[in-house]
Amino acid sequence: MTAPRILLFAGSLRTGSFNRRLADLAEVCVTAAGGDVDHISLRDYPMPLYDGDEDAEHGPPAGATALHAKFAAAQGVFIVSPEYNAGTPPLLKNAIDWVSRVKGNGGQDSAFVRPVFALASASPGGLGGYRGLIALRQSLVLQLGATVIPQMVSVSKAHEAFKDDGTLEDERSAGFLRVLSEKLVRLAGAIEPFAA
């Protein structure tokens, strides 16, 4: 059986980002669970702020089209996102808004309805970015028709959550991440691979 393709990225570009560190750890967990991980950076998919007039006149930018193709080719998508003001960070929200406007590669459904999604977050706060994940889940499920695994991983006190080797200090959180990764790979494996 072919390993399911899992697109993985962090919703942050900040140097030293806790969520990028958690995404690195998620890559290890998904790979160990049997997934074929495509770990990308949103930095490689530049997009202007979403503008309906710009969209109507010129269509989605090249970065959105390329990112849409990544979503459409994946059987699973793992997003590790920080929380900004109890919501989704602007970088990630803008990327999702633009990708949702791309109609190529099988249309919007191929980007959001086809793959199964897993969500995780790390934050210095006590809730571990959980409120931001709820906002992200709502957008993915209610507006875009995505299937999102109910369990989400929230790593609190992120400034002291990681060991020097990149693993998590708290074995309970580490266990949650492993279980979520295994579930993502299992569910994604039931989805037919995308035929380009």
Domains held by the chain: number: 1
DSSP states along 15-59 = TT-HHHHHHHHHHHHHHHTT-EEEE--GGGS--PPP-HHHHHHH-
Range of the domain at 168: 5-188
CB atoms within 10 A of CB 43: 10
Answer whether residue 156 is part of any domain: yes
Residue 100 lies in a domain: yes
Sequence-distant contacts of 27-34: CB under 8 A, at least 24 apart: 29/177, 29/178, 29/180, 29/181, 29/182, 30/6, 30/78, 30/181, 30/184, 30/185, 32/178, 32/181, 33/178, 33/181, 33/182, 33/184, 33/185, 33/186, 34/3, 34/4, 34/185, 34/189
User: Buried b vs exposed e over 143-158: b needs ≥16 C-beta within 10 Å?
Assistant: ebebebbeebbbbbeb
The CATH number of residue 164's host domain is: 3.40.50.360
Backbone φ and ψ for 69, nearest 5 degrees, come out as -60, -35
What is the C-alpha to C-alpha distance for residues 150 and 168, in angstroms, rounded to an integer?
A: 22
| Structural domain contains residue 196 | no
Distance from C-alpha of 61 to C-alpha of 85, rounded to nearest angstrom:
27
In a domain, 193, yes or no: no
- Evaluate whether residue 194 is within a structural domain: no
- The one-digit pLDDT tens for each residue of the chain (196 residues) are 689 999 999 999 999 899 999 999 999 999 999 999 999 999 999 999 999 999 999 999 999 999 999 999 999 999 999 999 999 999 999 999 999 999 854 455 579 999 999 999 999 999 999 999 999 999 999 999 999 999 999 999 999 999 999 999 999 999 999 999 999 999 999 988 876 5
Of 65, 88, 68, which Cα lies nearest the Cα of 139?
A: 88
d(CA 10, CA 185): 18
pTM for the model: 0.95
| Residues facing 176 on adjacent strands | none
Classify residue 195: in a domain, yes or no.
no
